Chains A and B, each alone.
Chain A
Amino acid sequence: MNEKQLLLNKIKKYSFALKELNLYLDTHPNCRRALALFQQYKELRDKGENEFNEKFGPLTPEQSTCTQRWNWIDDPWPWERR
């Protein structure tokens, strides 16, 4: 696995933790422990996404910082085989 795939997998893991906490908090909105974990994983995810954006390009159109070329459209797209 190359650096890009490793970093993207790390982001996927953090995003998954956030999604799980998100659904749990929907039905347990006063759980302090889940609230703290949510903030903790959000920080890790944001850090990972910033690093990914700098090295390999944006994960959402609005993350794009390029002023020369619209790199949002660059291959590969998520459904494509590695």
Chain B
Amino acid sequence: MWIYEKKLQYPVNIKTPNAKLAKVIISQLGGPDGELAASLRYLNQRYSMPYAEVKGLLTDIGTEELAHVEMVSAILYQLTKDLSTEEIKASGFDTYFVDHTAGIYPIAASGVPFTAAYFQSKGDIITDLHENLAAEQKARTTYDNILRLADDPDVRDPIRFLREREIVHFQRFGEALRITQDKLDSKNFYACNPSFDKNCGIK
């Protein structure tokens, strides 16, 4: 179960609305390497994890990603609040506005709605941990691209925080992979799936 805390993980205080920027940052909510996909990826994968360290890590990073969903949503909410119709038309936000007004809806910057096809849960610890390492780097690249497009320091500050978290998560997933390989290597030379193959392929 989960408990909601009435605070953001890191402050978001954007004074100037900027719908054009919201149109690209929304990819980190509902895009292919966004926070929603990240949270669902880890929280779904954890059930087939054979080792306690990795069950804990996926639960805790999956939970932190929910806090990042909230932070990205807060950025989008503040960037699109109190816009005039003229600003909506001029910024190109009208293509989003026509379907959602200023409501928060998970889509990629290209307009493709969120889909579970953005993540995998393969039921194999080695496969899933490699997916997660790649996912953290892809999210880091996306934040780098957002930083290349955003000038407002009020926006850059929380985006830089989120970018740093991708790096920390990558580090922790690397340690989880090392722990896993240390355990597998003792007898399971061919890295058979320990959560499915009962003897890990060994007679």
The interface size bin for chain B is 20 to 34
**Shortest beta-carbon distance, A66 to chain B, in Å?**
14
In the complex, chain B residues 11-47 whose Cβ is within 8 Å of any chain A Cβ: 11-15
* Count of chain A to chain B residue pairs whose CB atoms are closer than 8 Å in the complex: 71
Q: Is B70 an interface residue (CB 8 A)?
A: yes
Residue of A nearest to B172 (CB): A23
In the complex, chain A residues 30-82 whose Cβ is within 8 Å of any chain B Cβ: 58-62, 72, 77-82
Report whether B176 and A79 are in contact in the complex, using a CB–CB cutoff of 8 Å.
no
Complex A-B: 21 CB contacts under 8 Å:
A8-B7, A12-B10, A12-B11, A15-B9, A23-B57, A23-B168, A23-B172, A26-B172, A26-B176, A27-B179, A58-B6, A59-B7, A60-B4, A60-B5, A78-B6, A79-B12, A79-B77, A79-B78, A80-B77, A81-B13, A81-B78
Complex CA distance for A20 and B60, rounded to whole angstroms = 10
Residue of B nearest to A19 (CB): B64
Residues of A within 8 A of B142 (CB): none
Q: Please report the total number of A residues contacting B with Cβ < 8 Å.
A: 27
Which of B14, B15, B57, B70 is within 8 Å of A78, CB to CB?
Answer: B70
Residues of A within 8 A of B103 (CB): none
